[in-house]
Each structure stands twice: as structure tokens, then as C-alpha cells.
Structure 1
Amino acid sequence: MFGLFKKKSELEKLQEDYKELLSKAHKVSHSNRTEADKLMAEAEEIAKKIDAVKAK
């Protein structure tokens, strides 16, 4: 209840974006491999940002 208005940290936002991109890439991979590869590349960039935030 009290966590309802809690703001997400940068790490939580990045992790959410990463999971969303992986999910989209998986769905698209059945029909359009090049688009799935682009989404995977974006997910990798976010993964690097996640590692950088965790290293702080």
C-alpha cells in the first residue's frame, strides 16, 4: 500500500525496459528476424547500462 507512490530507481527502470525488449524480440523473431536482431541489440545496450549502474 505504501509502495504505491514509490518512484522506481534507475536500475528498476532499465531492468523493466530490458525485459520488455527481450519479450518483443522473441515475439518478432518468428516473423521478422532483422527486426528481432535490432531489438536484441537495443537490449544489449540496456544491459551494459545496467552493469554500469550496478558497478557504482
Structure 2
Amino acid sequence: MFGLFKKKTALEKLQAEYKDMLDKVHKLSHSNRIEADKLMAEAEEIAKKIDDLKDSK
């Protein structure tokens, strides 16, 4: 209950965005492989940002 109004950190936001992107890639890979590959490249960029944030701590 107390965590209800807690703001997400930049790392938590990026992790949520990365997870959502991977879900979209999985769904899209069944119908449009080219678009799925483009989204996967974007997801990898997010993963690099996540790693950079983890390394800086």
C-alpha cells in the first residue's frame, strides 16, 4: 500500500519499457519479421541504457 505512490526510478522505467518492447517483438514476429527485427534493435538500445545505468551505480 505504501509503495502505491512511489515514483519509479529511471532504471525501473527502462526495464518496464524493455519488457513491453520484447512482448511487442514476440507478437509481431509471427506476422511481420522485418518490423520485429527493427523493434528488436530498439530494444537492444534500451538494454544498453539499462546496462549503463547499472554500471554507473
TM-score range, shorter chain: over 0.9
**Tell me, which stretches of 5 or more residues in structure 2 are unaligned?**
none
How high is the TM-score relative to the length of structure 2? Answer: 0.96
Q: Percent identity?
A: 75
Shift of 1:10: 0.4
Unmatched tracts of structure 1, length 5 or more: none
Partner of 2:22: 22
The alignment's TM-score, normalised by the length of structure 1, stands at: 0.98
Instruction: Give the equivalent residue in structure 2 for 1:39.
Output: 39
For residues 22 and 4 of structure 2, what CA distance do their matches in structure 1 show? Answer: 26
Number of residues of Structure 1 aligned to a counterpart in Structure 2 = 56
- Once residues 19 and 4 of structure 1 are traced to their aligned partners in structure 2, the CA distance between those partners, rounded to angstroms, is 21
